[in-house]
Amino acid sequence: MRTAGCTTIPTPVHGAPTSGGGDHLEAALRRFVNGETLSPHDDHAFEEVAAVLEGEFHVEAAGEVYDLSTGEGIVIPPGEPREWRCDGENGGLLYRVLVRVPGAPA
């Protein structure tokens, strides 16, 4: 919700990600169940900063593989493919910020 120039992002329930954006970025919270994947092909043009708020996630990005748990994060450069998989037994909550980079390869 946007008020006084700021945007708040409520905590999501499963299946209904919440997001908010500005002129140069898009921030989203998404709740996952164990085994659920996210392969955002349209996000390659963006630099991505993400943090695991709950659970564990397996990430394949820029030709590398990472296993992240609560409190850990990652920065993915623009132009690189990425795929997320929730490995948390009780699911997980992921916070992603996509930053628009002028001239980045799509």
Can you give the pTM of this predicted structure? 0.85
Q: Over the range 52-64, which residues count as b (16 or more CB within 10 Å of their CB) and which as e?
A: bebbbbebebeee
pLDDT score recorded for residue 67: 99
Q: How far is 34 from 14, CA to CA, in rounded Å?
A: 11
Distance CA 7, CA 19 (A): 9
* Confidence band of 3 (pLDDT split at 50, 70, 90): low
Is residue 44 pLDDT above 60, yes or no? yes
Domains of the chain, earliest start first: 2-100 (2.60.120.10)
